[in-house]
């Protein structure tokens, strides 16, 4: 493999973990494993540049760690391009403008599709920066065919420059539901519909709460996990129905326990770049009722019940089916287990290494950029 060096933008290690940061952590961990296995020989030195403010020491087996004294967006723009003489990899939407041998993963354009979910400053920054970063980058990665189409349709990056590298599911194998207070007898007495999401408008939790009385009549509670991110415009949650419980932040072990105990995961988002909770639920044998919008049908295949995210009646009907039709839940569990296998962090990390090799070779022919 003829690659001089790979430098990974490790700023995500100083950020709170959302789906984007989980993606970066899992991809980098799998790249480290692949390099440790020496599949690519000793001619592929890799460094991750981590902000000193990340809080704890970071250790990899094959990837060298270099600490940066600053973690600001400004320092990312002006220091990272000079920190690498090979390929630079940024996995969390943002990266330096002035890096041409740059691979950047742009997960979605949710801020364009549902702008009301985001602050004005965030929208403006991303509207300006993403097209510029994509134009200069050698390749743009995204996580679904839907997101690739959005990047093309909104003029961020043409399809021919985009590679789709999806999320994986194997991280759920590390979760320990036995350590969670939501396990077994500690779960609510009544069956429940499980929801993950902030109060951002595109997560569409309000729609699901609107059918809470009807679900109550079916003997079902709604448990909502997740805390609001400061980047989102919050939706109020006053006067919640009595069968709705807001859990706030939950750990990964809690997620595992809740997935395993739930009647289903409800995923009512209006838009998503991927929707990793869906494959987590599949992997943990939790039936899924999900929106028929954006990337979600692409991720679900035939392993979930789908409903229009703007039709509360359609959601009630699908959840009622799951509650009343014998064998339906078991059928969805079996299909979900198979669907989860389509999404692998190891396979995705291999796709990144293949793309890094391609970009490294192309630099000798003067290619890269839009």
Beta strands in 81-233 (DSSP E): 87-90, 102-105, 139-142, 162-164, 192-196, 221-225
Q: Which residues contact 172 (CB under 8 A, 6 or more apart)?
A: 256, 280, 283, 284
Choose between 70 and 118: higher pLDDT: 118
From 316, 280, 323, 272, select the one nearest 298 (Cα to Cα).
272
Q: How confident is the model at residue 231 (pLDDT cuts 50, 70, 90)?
A: very low
Q: How confident is the model at residue 16 (pLDDT cuts 50, 70, 90)?
A: confident
- What angle separates helix 328-340 from helix 276-283, to the nearest 10 degrees? 110
Question: Is 1's pLDDT higher than 50?
Answer: no
CA dihedral 172, 177, 181, 183 (to 10 degrees): 120
- pLDDT for 365 equals 52
- pLDDT for 72 equals 60
Separation of alpha carbons 276 and 168, rounded Å:
8
Identify the three-state secondary structure at position 189.
Answer: coil
pLDDT in tens, 301-317: 999 999 999 999 999 99
Please state the rounded mean pLDDT for residues 313-339. 97
Model's pTM, two decimal places? 0.91
Tell which phi-psi region holds residue 38, choosing left (phi > 0), alpha (psi between -120 and 50) or beta.
left
- Report the range of poorest mean pLDDT among 11-20, 151-160, 275-284, 347-356: 11-20
The fold of 172-340 is Rossmann fold (3.40.50)
- pLDDT for 236 equals 46
Q: How confident is the model at residue 369 (pLDDT cuts 50, 70, 90)?
A: very low
Choose between 57 and 155: higher pLDDT: 155
Q: What is the CATH number of domain 6-168+344-365?
A: 3.40.50.2000
- pLDDT for 363 equals 63
- pLDDT for 103 equals 97
Which structure tokens are listed for 189? 């007495």
- Report the range of poorest mean pLDDT among 95-104, 162-171, 210-219: 95-104
- pLDDT for 47 equals 92
- pLDDT for 370 equals 46
Percent of the chain exceeding pLDDT 70 equals 86
The answer to whether the CB of 114 falls within 8 A of the CB of 201 is: yes
pLDDT in tens, 74-128: 666 767 777 777 899 999 999 998 887 999 999 999 999 999 989 999 999 999 9
- pLDDT for 78 equals 67
Question: Is 130's pLDDT higher than 90?
Answer: yes
Q: How confident is the model at residue 43 (pLDDT cuts 50, 70, 90)?
A: low
Please state the rounded mean pLDDT for residues 27-35. 95
Q: Where in the chain is the domain with CATH 3.40.50.2000?
A: 6-168+344-365, 172-340
């Amino acid at each position: 493999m003829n690659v001089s060096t790979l430098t990974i933008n490790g700023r995500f290690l100083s950020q709170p973990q959302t789906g984007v940061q989980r993606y970066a952590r899992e991809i980098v961990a799998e790249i480290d494993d692949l390099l440790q296995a020496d599949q690519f020989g000793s001619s592929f030195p890799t460094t991750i540049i981590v902000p000193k403010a990340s809080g704890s020491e970071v250790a990899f087996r094959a990837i060298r760690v270099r600490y940066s004294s600053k973690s600001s967006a400004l320092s990312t723009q002006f220091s990272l391009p000079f920190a690498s003489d090979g390929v630079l990899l940024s996995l969390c939407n943002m990266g330096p403008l002035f890096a041409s041998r740059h691979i950047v993963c742009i997960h979605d354009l949710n801020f364009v599709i549902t702008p009301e979910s985001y602050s004005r400053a965030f929208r403006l920054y991303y509207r300006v920066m993403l097209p510029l970063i994509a134009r200069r980058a050698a390749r743009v990665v995204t996580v679904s065919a839907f997101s690739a189409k959005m990047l093309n349709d909104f003029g961020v990056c043409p399809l021919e420059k985009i590679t789709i590298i999806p999320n994986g599911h194997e991280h759920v194998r590390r979760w320990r539901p036995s350590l969670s207070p939501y396990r077994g007898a500690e779960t609510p007495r009544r069956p429940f519909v499980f929801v993950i999401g902030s109060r951002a408008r595109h997560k569409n939790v309000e729609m699901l709460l609107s059918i809470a009385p009807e679900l109550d009549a079916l003997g079902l509670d709604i448990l909502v996990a997740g805390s609001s991110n400061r980047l989102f415009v919050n939706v109020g949650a006053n006067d919640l129905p009595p069968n709705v419980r807001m859990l706030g932040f939950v750990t990964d072990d809690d997620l595992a326990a809740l997935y395993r105990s739930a009647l289903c995961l409800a995923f009512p988002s209006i838009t998503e770049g991927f929707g990793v909770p869906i494959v987590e639920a599949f992997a943990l044998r939790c039936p899924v009722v999900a929106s028929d919008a954006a990337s979600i049908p692409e991720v679900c295949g035939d392993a979930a019940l789908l409903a229009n995210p703007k039709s509360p009646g359609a959601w009630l009907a699908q959840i009622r089916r799951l509650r009343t039709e014998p064998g339906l839940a078991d059928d969805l569990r079996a299909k979900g287990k198979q669907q989860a296998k389509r999404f692998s962090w190891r396979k995705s990390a291999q796709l990144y290494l293949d793309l890094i090799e391609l970009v490294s070779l192309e630099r000798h022919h003067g290619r890269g950029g839009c």
